[in-house]
């Protein structure tokens, strides 16, 4: 049985307060991380370089379905959190079920907010961007590995399955 590997927003706020008193920095990133692949790991390792601690806000199963459709996620939130928690670059995982991280950003006040480089200042969620500016969080972009995406992985699996079934 897999243990829950994520903390509540209230626990995160308490841990953030302790880290702030110790002059430790926190970088926050977020995503679905469904079918974790090398591109995800690369971006997370890049994001971790910005702060003493990297925290990942993980989309809940419900929010992934809203974003990606009823066939997703492939991997449950509990399993995705478990996999992410095994990465040495990830310190904490916070599950969220909202359309964006505005509330979490306002509560956590991270030092850095990291998105992958397929985003820009203009494409970040407007409410998140406003919250980030309000709490003085620096926005950074982590390099991506080209040619790696969950959609690509699913496509390869589907093609492989379909060609072996013929």
Q: Where are the chain's structural domains? A: 9-165
CB proximity list for 125: less than 8 A, separation 6 or greater: 100, 101, 102
Pick the CATH number of 9-165 from 3.40.1180.10, 1.10.3080.10, 3.40.50.720, 3.40.50.620: 3.40.50.620
What DSSP line would sit under 55-94, residue for residue? EEEEEPHHHHHHHH-TT--SS-HHHHHHHHHTSTT--EEE
pLDDT, tens digit, 9 for 90 and up, residues 26-79: 999 999 998 898 999 999 999 999 999 999 999 999 999 999 899 999 999 999
At residue 72's C-alpha, the angle toward residues 68 and 70, to 5°, is 75
**Residue partners of 110: CB distance under 8 A and separation at least 6:** 16, 26, 27, 28, 51, 55, 135, 137
Shortest CA distance to 105 belongs to which of 149, 136, 78, 82?
136
Q: What is the mean pLDDT of residues 11-36?
A: 96
Element (H, E) at 138: strand 138-142
| pLDDT category of residue 160 using cuts at 50, 70 and 90 | confident
Alpha carbon 125 to its chain's center? 14
Q: Is residue 154 predicted with pLDDT exceeding 90?
A: no
Whether the CA torsion 149, 154, 156, 159 is positive or negative: it is negative
| Unique residue bearing structure tokens 């989309």 | 59
pTM: 0.90
Q: Give the chain's end-to-end CA distance (angstroms, integer).
A: 37
Tokens of 107: 């509560």
Q: What is the pLDDT of residue 165?
A: 65
Q: Is 27 helix (H, G, I), strand (E, B) or coil?
A: strand
- What is the band of 166 on the pLDDT scale with cuts at 50, 70, 90? low
């Amino acid at each position: 049985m897999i243990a829950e590997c994520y903390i509540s927003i209230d626990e995160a706020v308490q841990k953030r307060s302790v880290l702030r008193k110790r002059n430790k920095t926190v970088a926050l990133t977020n995503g679905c991380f469904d079918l974790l692949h090398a591109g995800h790991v690369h971006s997370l390792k890049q994001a971790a370089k910005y702060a003493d601690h990297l925290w990942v806000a993980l989309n809940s199963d419900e929010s992934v379905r809203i974003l990606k459709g009823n066939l997703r996620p492939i991997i449950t939130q509990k399993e995705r959190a478990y996999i992410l928690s095994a990465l040495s670059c990830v310190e904490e995982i916070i599950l969220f079920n909202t359309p964006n991280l505005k509330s979490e950003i306002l509560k956590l006040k991270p030092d850095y907010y990291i998105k992958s480089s397929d985003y820009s200042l203009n494409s970040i969620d407007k409410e998140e961007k406003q919250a980030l500016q309000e709490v003085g969080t620096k926005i950074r972009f982590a390099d991506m590995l080209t040619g790696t995406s969950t959609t690509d992985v699913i496509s390869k699996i589907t093609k492989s399955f379909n060609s072996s079934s013929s």
